[in-house]
A = this chain, B = another copy of it.
Amino acid sequence: MNEHTGTRYHHGDLRKALMDAGEVELAEKGIEGFTLRGCAKRAGVSHAAPAHHFKDVNGLLTALAAEGFDRLVAAMRARQAVAKQTPRLQFIAAGLGYLDFGKANKALFRLMFSSHKPDFGSGELKRSAAAAFDILIEIVRNVAGADPRGNAKLMRDVAAAWAMAHGLADLALSNRMKFLDAAPGLSEDEVYAEIIARSVPDGAKRTARSRKT
């Protein structure tokens, strides 16, 4: 190896380098302009090299999508870590984290949710996506509490929470939420938090007064 010049025949960790390059490629070119050759070039390697690490271009995209779900979870956790520990505020924080991730990783978000290119049957991707979904359920269950209406009600709560956060993210990252920006006296986070709060399941949203009636 030749650590001083940075050039060496064997790369060391080309797989990782290609993943990093793939993210940049995705961010700059979008899904529609993503090419394997572009990733190889960004990683400083010949365009035939990736074949040793990924079966084909969709293999790289699948790995990127899987990593995306891990990072989506991390973004939600990051917001939760700095929020108060009530189930309701944890729910809202997770929603804001979902939005953070979408806005910061537009093309990756679309790759994960609106593309057919990744192989969603692959174990790696299925595991990461399932882990994210499990966390969503956990957050909703914490705020909804044990509900006598059972699992079907919980699943509708989950769907509502996910759809609200996902819809906001998807629309925001195509600049379709600009009409919200002119909020007087509220920060962008506060506006989104207020909207996300509307999808808190009603088991927990009822006030003490209305609950007693």
Q: Does A3 contact B (CB under 8 A)?
A: no
User: Assuming A30-B116, A32-B117, A198-B199, is B171 touching A162 (CB within 8 A)?
Assistant: yes
Contact of A152 among B162, B163, B164, B183 (CB under 8 A): B183
Q: Is the interface of A mostly helix, strand, loop or mixed?
A: helix
User: Assuming A115-B32, A198-B199, is B159 touching A170 (CB within 8 A)?
Assistant: no
The reply to whether A191 and B114 form a contact with Cβ atoms under 8 Å apart is no
The reply to whether B159 and A177 form a contact with Cβ atoms under 8 Å apart is yes
Query: Which chain B residue has the least Cβ–Cβ distance from A183?
Result: B152
The reply to whether B32 and A163 form a contact with Cβ atoms under 8 Å apart is no
Q: Does A110 contact B (CB under 8 A)?
A: yes
List chain B residues, Cβ under 8 A from A9: none
Copies assembled: 2
The reply to whether B159 and A180 form a contact with Cβ atoms under 8 Å apart is yes
The reply to whether B156 and A180 form a contact with Cβ atoms under 8 Å apart is yes
The reply to whether B163 and A167 form a contact with Cβ atoms under 8 Å apart is yes
Q: Which 10 A-B pairs have the closest CB atoms?
A: A167-B167, A163-B167, A166-B167, A163-B168, A114-B114, A160-B195, A160-B198, A159-B180, A164-B164, A152-B183
B-binding residues in A (CB < 8 A): 30-32, 110, 113-117, 152, 155-156, 158-160, 162-168, 170-171, 174, 176-177, 179-180, 182-184, 186, 191, 194-195, 198-199, 202, 209-210, 213
A-B pairs with beta carbons under 8 Å apart, 29 shown: A113-B170, A113-B171, A113-B176, A114-B114, A152-B183, A152-B184, A152-B186, A155-B179, A156-B183, A156-B191, A156-B194, A156-B195, A159-B168, A159-B171, A159-B177, A159-B180, A160-B195, A162-B167, A163-B164, A163-B168, A163-B195, A164-B199, A166-B167, A166-B170, A166-B171, A167-B167, A167-B168, A198-B198, A209-B213
